């Protein structure tokens, strides 16, 4: 399969996966076209990439076109990719990098080989436990700063809240009679549900949560 999806939230892991593919397919750096987008990828972005897809490799037998989409792709952009993913140009590997495969259409996923890189979150869980303790005692300014730090994208916010829920559950198990821990867990779970199911601004929603703890 010449169409590949790499699912990873870690940039170093992503680079390692890409390097392995380059090595296996003997793709020199001059034939690696990387397109990184800071915003959601739309149809104009895909059209600009498609114009270069049919160019021949310069030095290698194969070439790679990498679409790095940390903010995801619009539904329209994904639909515009379907034909090219199913039948890439000869000697061309198309690689789509995303932090969340659930944001992709089933029709896109079915046309690609999916490489999902699992994260080791043990360190993150420890850090989140520290953050939970910090939230219980820090001032308003620090809570607002933390809300900003953990709300860069919706996906990052949801992952952070998942770890925060685990940390809150651990505190509740250790002290099941503490009503403060129970209230905290319920508030975090409520916030997670709101951010996941609606189009609210993650930063403002986290600010409201942190100020209530």
**End residue of a domain, out of 73, 99, 116:** 116
Find the Cα–Cα–Cα–Cα dihedral 146, 195, 112, 45, rounded to 10°: -80
User: Three-class SS of residue 148?
Assistant: helix
As a whole number, the mean pLDDT across the chain is 90
Contacts of 98 (CB under 8 A, 6+ apart): 5, 6, 7, 69, 70, 72, 73, 104
The last residue of a domain, from among 81, 100, 116:
116
Do 129 and 103 sit in the same domain of this protein? no
Q: Give the domain extent around 202.
A: 122-212
**CATH code where residue 74 lies:** 3.40.50.300
The pLDDT of residue 198 is 93
CA 197 to chain centre: 17
CA 202 to chain centre: 15
Whether residue 105 is found in the same domain as residue 186: no
Nearest partner of 104 among 65, 80, 74, judged by Cα? 74
Are 41 and 7 contained in the same domain?
Answer: yes
Q: What is the DSSP letter of 89?
A: P
Q: Say whether both 177 and 203 belong to one domain.
A: yes
> What's the pLDDT tens digit per position in 55-104?
999 999 999 999 999 999 999 999 999 999 999 999 999 999 999 888 89
Does 133 lie in the same domain as 67?
Answer: no
How many domains does one find in the chain?
Answer: 2
**78 and 165 share one domain:** no
Task: For residue 152, give every residue at least 6 positions away whose Cβ sits within 8 Å of its Cβ, in sequence order, or none.
Answer: none
- Record the pTM: 0.59
């Amino acid at each position: 399969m010449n169409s590949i999806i790499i699912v990873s939230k870690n940039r170093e892991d992503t680079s390692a996966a890409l390097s392995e593919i380059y090595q296996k397919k003997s793709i020199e750096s001059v034939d690696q076209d990387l397109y990184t987008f800071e915003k959601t990828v739309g149809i104009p972005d895909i059209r600009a990439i498609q114009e270069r897809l049919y160019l021949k490799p310069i030095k290698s037998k194969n070439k790679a076109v990498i679409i790095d989409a940390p903010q995801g792709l619009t539904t329209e952009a994904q639909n515009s990719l379907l034909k090219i993913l199913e039948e890439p140009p000869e000697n061309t590997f198309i690689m789509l990098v995303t932090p969340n495969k659930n944001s992709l259409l089933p029709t896109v996923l079915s046309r690609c080989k999916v490489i999902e890189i699992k994260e080791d979150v043990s360190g993150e869980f420890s850090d989140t436990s520290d953050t939970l303790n910090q939230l219980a005692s820090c001032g308003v300014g620090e809570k607002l700063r933390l809300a900003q730090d953990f709300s860069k994208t919706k996906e990052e916010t949801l992952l952070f809240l998942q770890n925060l829920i685990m940390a809150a559950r651990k505190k509740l198990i250790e002290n099941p009679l503490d009503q403060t821990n129970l209230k905290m867990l319920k508030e975090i779970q409520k916030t997670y549900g709101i951010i996941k199911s609606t189009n609210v601004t993650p930063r403002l929603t986290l600010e409201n949560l942190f100020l209530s703890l």
